[in-house]
Structure 1
């Protein structure tokens, strides 16, 4: 029975991701974000449960990536699609960009489809991760859940912090296009990023993890949802510093 527990958690991740897709399509970004957070929670604990119960399996590895493909691959791509669609309406269908084309009697906007590049990049990363035997104590490139949190934070910032300055940045098509391609690069880059996996609870061997967690808590209290992009940037910077100091 215990060997099924991690896979059940993984399937809960997939279920949450599937519900999030439906909510994003329905423009319910807040509800979708809640299910994304739940999905990432289950994604973290399925691996934790597998290690603690000593029931890691090849099936579990493949199932985990398939679930991540929905929660941390398809969902952020659709969110970017929706946000890019909003920039078209906000700009009155800017003539610099083709607004759409009629395929099979429905209008499909072209520019927002760029957001789905993140879905493609996530699929490529997840496939590579399954074949890579090196990433046990670190990640090579930005993990898909971290990238998803970055993208999910954008509609949450608009919804709950409602700053004209921030809203104008988020709904700027060039910002969203730049973020799309930056995400694609970071997902599949060779940058080594530390993993939040504790082999023991000693401070000396986990100093960077403890410092990062403390800074995350402080930033979330002070900046609320704006803290999420700052935390992702901090994660990358701290990893780069750690790479330099450990060489």
Structure 2
């Protein structure tokens, strides 16, 4: 009797559908930027952010985590939150700066790749309550939110506005370099959706949704810039109190963690 061929491992559909949808959001954003529709490009990135936040939760809730899904998620993030924001900003403002413009766009893109690689390799030893550096979706929100807000104000490009291209240059570098710092940014991963909460929390969520709908570009830009500076505020506060500022876990129980805290 011939030996039975091993069964091929399948791919879980549900979480990877969310990941593919997030990837499409980043691809759509690039296409819209090429067509000078920067408002739709920003919307594509923000939609990718929402979908990216759901795929992992869906996988955990349905017990469909897989190594394939983790790799797929990282590749999708690189497109949607690394390449897409860099290209959108370059099309909107940076190409008028010559070499300085494409260098800034490349630095952002490279920092996104480095941040994702570091996240994947450090995932077992980092305090889950904090991100090590600004997460790439938030960095993408800083860059594209800046464009979305100014585009909504009628500034469809930075070429005819003195100083705006260099402001965009600074925003791009800030978002990129902050991704590869060791500054702690709160991750919200300790927030559980399975626990009961006071009624006022639901009211606050409803008010938050209403506030965003008043003027999405301005409100989202403001929220993500507050978050984009919050890590430095936490860092300075911890330093002033003499508390450890590293987000590397302090447990010595795991063999892989030995030597990380010396």
- Scaled to the shorter chain, the TM-score interval is 0.7 to 0.9
Secondary structure at 1:193 match in 2: strand
Q: Deviations over 1:187-223 (max 9, x none)?
A: 111111111332254669xxxx99x978965864666
Structure 1 partner of 2:174: 182
The match for 2:34 among 8, 25, 43 is: 25
The match for 2:91 among 82, 95, 107 is: 82
In the alignment, structure 1 residue 112 sits paired with structure 2 residue 101: yes
The match for 2:188 among 183, 192, 196 is: 196
In the alignment, structure 1 residue 128 sits paired with structure 2 residue 118: yes
Q: Tell me, in whole angstroms, the C-alpha distance in 1 between the residues paired with 2:81 and 2:118.
A: 15
Q: Deviations over 1:165-205 (max 9, x none)?
A: x998896233122222211221111111111332254669x
TM-score, structure 2 as length reference: 0.70
Q: Deviations over 1:19-70 (max 9, x none)?
A: 2211112211122222222222211110110110122222211110100111
The within-5 A match list for 1:1-247 is 3-85=12-94, 88=96, 109-113=98-102, 114-132=104-122, 133=124, 134=126, 136-162=128-154, 172-197=164-189, 198-199=191-192, 200-201=194-195, 220=212, 224-239=216-231, 244=237, 247=243
TM-score, structure 1 as length reference: 0.74
Secondary structure at 2:113 match in 1: helix
CA RMSD of aligned residues (A): 3.6
Shift of residue 146, structure 1, vs aligned partner: 0.8
Structure 2 partner of 1:105: none
Secondary structure at 2:59 match in 1: helix
- From the superposition, tell whether residues 224 and 18 of structure 1 become closer, same or farther in structure 2 (CA, over 3 Å): closer
Q: Tell me, in whole angstroms, the C-alpha distance in 2 between the residues paired with 1:216 and 1:170.
A: 35
The answer to whether the 8 Å contact 1:150/1:228 transfers is no
Whose helix fraction is larger, Structure 1's or Structure 2's? 1
Q: Tell me, in whole angstroms, the C-alpha distance in 2 between the residues paired with 1:46 and 1:170.
A: 42
Larger radius of gyration: 2
Q: Tell me, in whole angstroms, the C-alpha distance in 2 between the residues paired with 1:227 and 1:62.
A: 32
Secondary structure at 1:139 match in 2: strand
Q: Tell me, in whole angstroms, the C-alpha distance in 1 between the residues paired with 2:31 and 2:20.
A: 17
Q: Tell me, in whole angstroms, the C-alpha distance in 2 between the residues paired with 1:156 and 1:167.
A: 16
- From the superposition, tell whether residues 213 and 130 of structure 1 become closer, same or farther in structure 2 (CA, over 3 Å): farther
Q: Deviations over 1:219-243 (max 9, x none)?
A: 6466642333432232245555667
Secondary structure at 2:65 match in 1: coil
- From the superposition, tell whether residues 36 and 237 of structure 1 become closer, same or farther in structure 2 (CA, over 3 Å): closer
Q: Tell me, in whole angstroms, the C-alpha distance in 2 between the residues paired with 1:167 and 1:201.
A: 51
Q: Tell me, in whole angstroms, the C-alpha distance in 1 between the residues paired with 2:216 and 2:152.
A: 9
Question: How many pairs are equivalent?
Answer: 223
Gaps of 5+ in 2: 1-9, 244-262
Secondary structure at 2:174 match in 1: helix
